[in-house]
Amino acid sequence: MLAKIEETALFLQERTSRRPKVGIILGTGLGNLATQITDKEEIPYNEIPHFPISTVEGHSGKLIFGRLGNKEVLAMQGRFHFYEGYDMQKVTFPVRVMHAFGIKSLFVSNAAGGMNSAFEIGDLMVINDHINLFPEHPLRGKNYEELGPRFPDMSVPYDKELIHMAFGIAEKHHIKLQKGVYVGTQGPTFETPAEYHYFRAIGGDAVGMSTVPEIIVARHMNMRCFAISIITDLGVPGKIVEVTHEEVQHIANQVQPLMTLIIKEIINQL
C-alpha cells in the first residue's frame, strides 16, 4: 500500500506545480462547490494510478487543483463508498494520497438523514463527533507506522477551532447552523423507521453512508478535520416520508451555496 500511495502522489506532483495544504471531499449533490474554484487544473480519476472510479450519480469523478478564495486547494469532486463494492482501503486511498501530497487539513461534506427533532430538511449540520457502524474498519489489517499509530486516539475527531470558526461565519451571514453526531452506516438502502429510532437512541443526530472512514484515516495521519452535512431527509417520527436519491441531490443542490460559503471562509482564514 505504501508503494501505491507514493506512486500516486508522485504522479500528481509531476502533473502539477501546485502544492496545496487544504483538501476537500465533495459528496452527493455537492460537487458544485467546485464551480467556486478558480484557476483550475482537473484530472479525471481514471487517469490517476490506483484510484478507484466513482459509480454514483452526483459524483463527477475528478481531482481538482485550484484556488478557493485566497487559498490553494485540492478537491475531490466525487468520493467512493463501501456500498459500491470497494474495500475500506480503496475507499480511503485518496485521503492517504492527499496526505502524502502534503495536505494538512481535510474538509468533508455529505448529504445525510436527520434524526434530531429540531432539524428541518435543508439544514446544515456541522459534525462534532461520529458513531462508526460500518462493518469493516478502515484501519483493519497491517498498520504502517509511517502513516500513523496502531491505536490512534479519536477523542477529538473533528477540529474544535474549525467548528468554532464555522459558527462565527454562520452568525455573521445569518445562516442557520446545527451541530451534532453523525452515524456512519454501510448503505445503500435508506433507513427504516426502526433504524432511525435506533440511531437516535444511541446518540446520533444524522445518518449517512460516508465520511466516517475518511475522517478515521485522516486522523490516523494527524490531519485537521472539518465535516458538514446537508440534511436532505428526516427520520423523525411523523416526518418520515419515502425518499429517493434524486430528491437528496435536489435538496443538496439548493442548500450547497450556504455550505460553500462557510467552507470557503474557513479555508480563507487558515
| Cα–Cα distance for residue pair 270/266, rounded to 1 Å | 7
Short-list 215, 184, 5, 179, CA closest to 105 = 215
Single-letter amino acid code for the residue at 161: E
| Cα–Cα distance for residue pair 37/3, rounded to 1 Å | 31
The grid cell for 264 is 470557503
Interval 184-228: pLDDT, tens: 999 999 899 999 999 999 999 999 999 999 999 999 999 999 999
Single-letter amino acid code for the residue at 259: M
Interval 224-265: pLDDT, tens: 999 999 998 888 877 766 667 777 677 777 788 899 899 999
Q: What is the mean pLDDT of residues 62-72?
A: 93
Fold of 2-14+21-269: Rossmann fold (3.40.50)
Q: Which residue has the higher pLDDT, 179 or 247?
A: 179
For the chain, give every domain's residue range: 2-14+21-269
| Cα–Cα distance for residue pair 166/29, rounded to 1 Å | 21
